[in-house]
Amino acid sequence: MTDTAQYPHLLSPLQVGSVTLRNRIVSTGHGTRLASGRIASEALIAYHEARAKGGAGLIITEAAMIDEEGVYSESHLVVDTDKVIPSLARLADAVHAHGAKLFGQVFHLGLEQMSELDGRRAAALGPSGGMSERYHVSGRVMPKAKIKQLIQKFGTAAARMRTAGFDGIEVAASHGYLIAQFLSPQINQRTDEYGGSDENRLRFLLEVLAEIRAQVGPDMPIGVRISGDELASDGLTPDEVLGVCDRLEAQGGVAYFNVTSGSSRQAGSAIHIVPPMSTDMALTAGYAAEIKKRVSAPVMAVGRINHAGTAEDVLSSDQADFCGMTRALITDPEFPNKLMAGQANDVRVCIGCNQACIDRMHRGYGVSCIQHPETGRELKFGTVTTAPQPKTVLIAGGGPGGLKAAAAAAARGHKVTLYEASGRLGGQAQIAQLLPRRAEFGGIIGNLEREARAAGADIKLNTKVDRAMIEAANPDAVIIATGAKTFRPELDGIDEAHVLDAWEVLESRANIGGRVVIADWRCDWIGLGLAEKLAKDGCSVRLVSTGHVAGEMIPKYMRDLWLGEMHKLGVDLIPMARLFGVDDDSVYFQHIASHEPVICEDVDTVVLAQGHRPVTQLEESLSDWTGKVHVIGDALAARTAEEAVLEGLEAGAAP
């Protein structure tokens, strides 16, 4: 029995060329770092299979490199030899077994190649040389012979995907990568038939499409991914993109248009590739709508379409024909099935934090999710098995880690009771959501609480756990998730100055002077968020951090967005300085490399973002207790919600 009444457009079929999609929910091409040896690993196959099993209509593989010379990591999918075909066939079989369709994205970085496989800086190729501002790469002019070779390689890559059983092909002409570089009149300065006029700059893409068509046959759908606006000083503008789409429409043969935004080439435009929380929902829907007016093929909108309701609005208003909902599927692979079953309220909603998905990929690790660490770990945690012998589990602490532990343990059939000392769940997530641009982070609390209660965990508030309670309850296992408290270092002069910690400021528990220095050891969301809040409150703000740049430890798209805001607000950013001392109107730092003093004078208030320390009293009281004890999250070491939730899953799966 299915329920499509609430989302009649989103859950309806869509014809894309010769292929019928069962619904309009798409997992778009995105880096996973789950490939191994440049082929589809079992982990990558399991990852995509989970989304097919969860009900997605279409899965598009990550950007598959078509030329080994453009590859910089063994964890990227590469389709330049036949050795990849068997693994791609296993991927296709896994996706098809659950009724989803599978398209493969073919791709080349061009000037955006950071390095080569052996780690040396790349000798990157672009239409007419040039430089990548973001990766500091100086490129070479692509010879015409190489252009012809790459056109053929796009075709042979697509042919390998067809041989493997893929249903369609997507050509990546987006985000300032190679094909987009050819399209851009600012980047492409060639004077031969591949540069100059609009027609000449389009020639490379048209010949790529023609070669793919020749190699895959007449029936296989071929789509194009393009940025509706690259939002970069040297990128494609909306008018230029519309002109490209007009010419593609006139040429014919494009089965669909996947409309995104942004460019990899500049920091301010790159944030739109995977837009973080605080950016608009359905970020590219306006661009998609303009293209949809001019083309006959279906058009896809992407970018912060995290809610089924948002997707339904985009489709029902005729802005697009289907929706890329990649992070929604990362967070909850089952969400299409939940919609079909009329269980929309049970969907785990993406909060747009970018912390364990795109940031893990940027750091070279496999994709996952801060709320759902089973993602990317399907081979280990993808199947929940009932415990052969149910146990009693007591959890101390109702933050994200404790809630995830409760959900995981209860799902296995254990009798779980979670105790939270305060009157509300969420731990530090309650404070984190008070930061500017972080309100959406609070969604993690409701999502994890719902998951824990649905699994059968008993949750009790206003109850502090101590050893006497544990001895009286005599559980089989105790999970300690008591979190952390703010750290206030011993400082010379601290009694003379007006010194506050971050939590006091965010919870409006203190008066703040007009001239503020933020001493930021963490180099994360807290320092940047405090600076924005106080600057907008009218304070003169200096943000002094120990890192090479403020926000050094957070996902780069969120960091870069915030650094842009700091510039607009006039916040004075002082990097590479550690806190040394304070007095009644000055703050003393030491440069972390030169050890020379850095002094901030004329200061009314000092705000400390000096990290946290674990709350360990319960753990210490159980040092000689004979039962099983797991310590997770900040109670183990002060870190982030990502570690807390993962360790909650691990502990909940362990009893």
State whether 522 and 450 are in the same domain: no
Q: Which of 326, 352, 378 is the last residue of a domain?
A: 352
Residue range 4-24: average pLDDT?
96
Whether residue 72 is predicted with pLDDT greater than 90 in this model: the reply is no
Higher pLDDT, 448 or 437: 448
The alpha helices in 67-143, defined as continuous H runs, are 85-96
The alpha helices in 426-548, defined as continuous H runs, are 429-432, 443-455, 467-473, 502-506, 525-536
> Looking at the 3D structure of the chain, how many domains does it have?
3
State whether 546 and 621 are in the same domain: no
Label residue 482 by pLDDT band (50, 70, 90): very high
State whether 649 and 594 are in the same domain: no
Residue range 22-43: average pLDDT?
97
Whether residue 629 is predicted with pLDDT greater than 90 in this model: the reply is yes
Label residue 370 by pLDDT band (50, 70, 90): very high
In angstroms, rounded to a whole number, what is the distance separating the alpha carbons of residues 590 and 89? 58
State whether 506 and 537 are in the same domain: yes
Q: What percent of the chain has pLDDT over 90?
A: 93
Sole residue written with tokens 């008591």: 482
Tens-digit pLDDT profile for residues 378-428 = 999 999 999 999 999 999 999 999 999 999 999 999 999 999 999 999 999
* Nearest alpha-carbon partner for 20 in 126, 101, 116: 101
Is 382 among the domain residues?
no
Label residue 5 by pLDDT band (50, 70, 90): confident
Residue range 318-337: average pLDDT?
98
pTM over 0.85: yes
Planar angle of CA 79, 223, 253, nearest 5 degrees = 115
State whether 397 and 313 are in the same domain: no
Label residue 2 by pLDDT band (50, 70, 90): low
Q: Which of 352, 370, 400 is the last residue of a domain?
A: 352
Min mean pLDDT across 220-229, 316-325, 590-599, 646-655 is at: 646-655
Bridge partners (DSSP) of residue 500 are: 607
CATH number at residue 510: 3.50.50.60
Is 358 among the domain residues?
no
CB distance 629 to 388 below 8 Å: no
State whether 627 and 599 are in the same domain: no
Task: Give percent helix, percent strand, percent coil of the chain, each to the nearest 5.
Answer: 35, 20, 45
Whether residue 69 is predicted with pLDDT greater than 90 in this model: the reply is no
CATH number at residue 639: 3.40.50.720
> Chain-centre distance of CA 222, in angstroms?
27
CATH number at residue 184: 3.20.20.70
In angstroms, rounded to a whole number, what is the distance separating the alpha carbons of residues 553 and 102? 35
Please state, as a whole number, how many other Cβ atoms lie within 10 Å of the Cβ of residue 507: 11
Total residues found in the chain within this entry = 655
Label residue 131 by pLDDT band (50, 70, 90): confident
Whether residue 132 is predicted with pLDDT greater than 90 in this model: the reply is no
Is 468 among the domain residues?
yes
State whether 461 and 503 are in the same domain: no
Residue range 333-354: average pLDDT?
96
Min mean pLDDT across 126-135, 319-328, 476-485, 605-614 is at: 126-135
Whether residue 293 is predicted with pLDDT greater than 70 in this model: the reply is yes
CB distance 340 to 611 below 8 Å: no
Is 373 among the domain residues?
no
Label residue 1 by pLDDT band (50, 70, 90): very low
In angstroms, rounded to a whole number, what is the distance separating the alpha carbons of residues 300 and 597? 55
Is 647 among the domain residues?
yes
Mean pLDDT score across all residues of the chain: 96
Please state, as a whole number, how many other Cβ atoms lie within 10 Å of the Cβ of residue 217: 9
Is 97 among the domain residues?
yes
In angstroms, rounded to a whole number, what is the distance separating the alpha carbons of residues 540 and 520? 16
Count Cβ neighbours within 10 Å for each residue of 25-64 and write b for 16 or more, e otherwise.
bbbbbbbbbbbbebbbbebbbbbbbbbbbbbbbbbbbbbb
State whether 576 and 521 are in the same domain: yes
State whether 258 and 141 are in the same domain: yes
Min mean pLDDT across 127-141, 155-169, 378-392 is at: 127-141
Residue range 418-447: average pLDDT?
96
State whether 302 and 439 are in the same domain: no
**pLDDT number for residue 4:** 77
State whether 454 and 525 are in the same domain: no
Q: Which of 352, 370, 395 is the last residue of a domain?
A: 352
Query: Which of 7, 177, 256, 588 is flagged as catalytic?
Result: 177
The range of the structural domain enclosing residue 252 comes to 14-352
| Residue 588 falls in the annotated catalytic set | no
Residue range 55-74: average pLDDT?
93
Whether residue 344 is predicted with pLDDT greater than 80 in this model: the reply is yes
State whether 400 and 544 are in the same domain: no
Higher pLDDT, 113 or 633: 633
**pLDDT number for residue 495:** 87
Is 9 among the domain residues?
no
Whether residue 655 is predicted with pLDDT greater than 80 in this model: the reply is no
Is 7 among the domain residues?
no
